[in-house]
Structure 1
């Protein structure tokens, strides 16, 4: 799917260049690697992630230790004691899963901390890209880092979202499409 999106992006870029639009590309990974702020944020993030990983591993090891003890003592335990031990093991395992989900799950602590630490640095890069695009009169800038290609900047004059919404009957009747406002930016 990602390769299909990259292919579509390339086709789009080459078709727009035929219309005399200027575009450029840059490598965000290379740029970020040259920024001390990024290196510091990434080091802090890695340290936090390592700590969280160790915490989850310790919880899982405790669950395994409890299971091992239960298996070793199972024949000596009464039915009531077995139920209590199994319930305690399941409770500990459930707590470990919940903690893992809270930290590493979708929009968990790890995601939020990454946003907090890395996003300001990325915002600096995007602002620099926008300034370069405006000074060099580029309509588009593509990031060619190893993650695949992505449009990082597009000249708002070439945004036809409102026209598409209008064509679908979803446009806001009070919204005036005004691409002229972007002409002198």
Structure 2
């Protein structure tokens, strides 16, 4: 009987030690919404303004090309009966070429806007990441989940640290 009591006591002590060790090494996790963080950073406003300005410039050029095409199409339509076949074919070819240039311009303009946005956002994103890393280390967190990326399906908010206010404070954002 004494060996059973000793065994039970030893198992209880081991369980207590394991539970105690587990809670001493409890991992802390944090979460934030990176999109909310980026949109609250003042640098993002500057990026959006520069991208919008580029978009307006490219849209203006595109509209000028469209107006040229409309003018040429109307000219062809109104003079169709008086044009020789050779001149008509050349004007139709010019219209087709202009349409192709418009499509190519539109595609390259979209690509240019995306590239400019990514180039301008890169330092802002790096600054945000540095602040997230700094605050996570200060808080002793094991991991931080980004809710904007949809990286987790469930989280118990009461057992996690919302990093957004802390990172905003670190960046000096109200």
Scaled to the shorter chain, the TM-score interval is 0.5 to 0.7
Aligned residues: CA RMSD:
2.0
Query: Are residue 114 (structure 1) and residue 117 (structure 2) matched?
Result: yes
User: Using the alignment, how far apart are the partners of 2:147 and 2:65 within structure 1?
Assistant: 40
Q: Secondary structure at the match of 2:123?
A: helix
1:88 is displaced (CA, Å) by 1.0
Which runs of structure 2 are paired with 1:24-63 in the superposition (5 Å)?
Answer: 24-63=30-69
TM-score (norm 1): 0.61
Q: CA deviation at 1:21?
A: 4.2
Tell me if the contact between 1:66 and 1:89 (Cα under 8 Å) persists in the aligned partners: yes
Segments of 5+ residues of structure 1 without an aligned counterpart are: 1-19, 152-185
Matched, 1:149 2:150: yes
Question: C-alpha distance in 2, partners of 1:43/1:143?
Answer: 26
Query: Could you tell me the TM-score, scaled by structure 2's length?
Result: 0.64
User: Structure 2, unaligned stretches of length 5 or more?
Assistant: 1-25, 153-174
Pick closer, same or farther for the CA change 1:142–1:64 going to 2, 3 Å. Answer: farther
Match runs of 1:28-177 below 5 Å? 28-104=34-110, 108-145=111-148, 149-150=150-151
CA distance, structure 2, for counterparts of residue 58 and residue 125 of structure 1: 40
Instruction: Say which structure is richer in helix.
Output: 2
Q: CA deviation at 1:150?
A: 4.5
Residues matched between the structures, number:
127
Alpha-carbon distance in structure 2 between the residues aligned to 1:136 and 1:35: 22
Greater relative contact order, per chain length (Cα 8 Å cut-off, separation 6+): 2
C-alpha contact (below 8 Å) 1:42/1:118 kept by paired residues: no
Aligned mates of 2:88, 2:143 — CA distance in 1: 66
* Superposed displacement of residue 128, structure 1: 1.0
Q: What's 2:4 paired with?
A: none
Deviations 1:90-137 (A, max 9, x none): 111111111112121xxx211211122111111111111122222223
